[in-house]
Amino acid sequence: MTVLVTGGAGYIGSHMVWELLDAGESVVVLDRLSTGFEWAVAPEAKLVVGDVADRDLVGQIIRDNHVDAIIHFAGSIVVPESVADPLAYYENNTSKTRTLIETAVREGVPHFIFSSTAAVYGGAGLEPVREDARLAPESPYGLSKLMSEWMLRDAGLAHDIRYTALRYFNVAGADPKGRTGQSTPGATHLIKVACETALGKRPFMQVFGTDYPTPDGTCMRDYIHVSDLAAAHRLALQRLRAGGESLVANCGYSHGYSVLEVIESVRRAFGRDFDVRMGDRRPGDAAAVVANSELARKELGWTPQRDDLDLIVNDALAWERILTTKNSVRN
């Protein structure tokens, strides 16, 4: 049995590939390498460069490798870009996922794990959000993922395929063994931006808004270590293989940190100060987005191992340093 990981050359996908290989699984990666990197794919995994909507290619991969599960990460993930070019997001995230599900059904793949997002909830309150909260995506990105969840639900009712959709909160950190990490240039995510600033790759960074209704006035997010997220997928795979029913579950730690707390943690990890400027709110940011993750803990038997902001930041900073070396070797 082999697991097909789409988007396995990307940030979360490349961690998933290591997680599966470490657990003794056989893995094939399908990635267009549009934003991912060939070097990010573990050498023990087979890499096929191609598109998830290429029915013939995907069918061939499934048959040749006896694929019994697809973990689908491939997709576009930049929220403002999805606002500027919604149809590209509905094409890349929704239409292509539809085609992939269709191929999975046609080829008799029984298990499907889908990377969804907290963006399906829209603006959450300060309280941790449960899976049965109101679904009100505020961006084409969030809606493109929610539509995919719904397609999976309906396909699961009509066909012999069971799925797990995991709604990620703020994924951060890097492989503690330094094998992969967030490598996309021009990243906008807070922890990566702060690490880049600490290392002098950016002259300064900004805090987007200090007048939110939160304890210190800056936004709160539930930061989850990418390795814990990969572990949740592996447990979801085990559960599906053991006959578990389809499931939609949040992946976060159930508590939040403010932007200022994150920056303090990066200062601690770096050991020195760096230039942080207070700025205006960024359009579209919710004051707080925190998961209620009881369902994942109960259904998947998921016990996070790296639920510690300093640990997340240390791993992110260590990866940022490795990336500097990699890039200077390549240039």
Residues in touch with ligand UDP (CB under 6 A): 170, 188-190, 193, 205-208, 219, 221, 259, 282, 285
At closest approach, how far in Å is the CB of 95 from ligand UDP?
23
At closest approach, how far in Å is the CB of 44 from ligand UDP?
31
Q: Which residue, 163 or 257, has its beta carbon nearer to ligand UDP?
A: 257
CA distances, 212 to each of 121, 153, 194, 208 (Å):
19, 36, 20, 10
Judge whether 57 and 265 are in contact, CB under 8 Å: no
Structure tokens at 136: 């009100």
**Closest to 14 measured CA to CA, from 167, 174, 145:** 174
Judge whether 166 and 251 are in contact, CB under 8 Å: yes
At closest approach, how far in Å is the CB of 193 from ligand UDP?
4
Residue of this chain nearest to ligand UDP (CB atom): 219
The verdict on whether 141 is a catalytic residue reads yes
Q: Which residue, 259 or 317, has its beta carbon nearer to ligand UDP?
A: 259
Q: Which residue, 7 or 209, has its beta carbon nearer to ligand UDP?
A: 209
Q: Which residue, 161 or 219, has its beta carbon nearer to ligand UDP?
A: 219
Q: Which residue, 103 or 293, has its beta carbon nearer to ligand UDP?
A: 293
At closest approach, how far in Å is the CB of 13 from ligand UDP?
18
Within its chain, how far is the Cα of 282 from the centroid? 21
* DSSP string for residues in 179-216: S-----TT---HHHHHHHHHTTSSS-EEEE-S-SSSTT
**Closest to 115 measured CA to CA, from 241, 260, 259, 233:** 233
Could you say which DSSP state residue 271 is in? S
At closest approach, how far in Å is the CB of 26 from ligand UDP?
33
Q: Which residue, 40 or 263, has its beta carbon nearer to ligand UDP?
A: 263
Judge whether 49 and 32 are in contact, CB under 8 Å: yes
Q: Which residue, 103 or 214, has its beta carbon nearer to ligand UDP?
A: 214
Judge whether 31 and 9 are in contact, CB under 8 Å: yes
At closest approach, how far in Å is the CB of 120 from ligand UDP?
13
* Side chain identity, residue 97: T
Backbone φ/ψ region at 73: left (φ over 0), alpha (ψ -120 to 50), beta: alpha
* DSSP string for residues in 154-180: HHHHHSS-EEEEEEE-EEE---TTSS-
Pure H helices in the chain: 11-22, 55-65, 79-84, 86-89, 96-106, 140-158, 190-198, 226-241, 259-270, 294-300, 309-330
The single residue of 11, 89, 121, 141 carrying the catalytic annotation is 141
**Three-state DSSP class for residue 327:** helix
At closest approach, how far in Å is the CB of 250 from ligand UDP?
14
Active site residues: 141
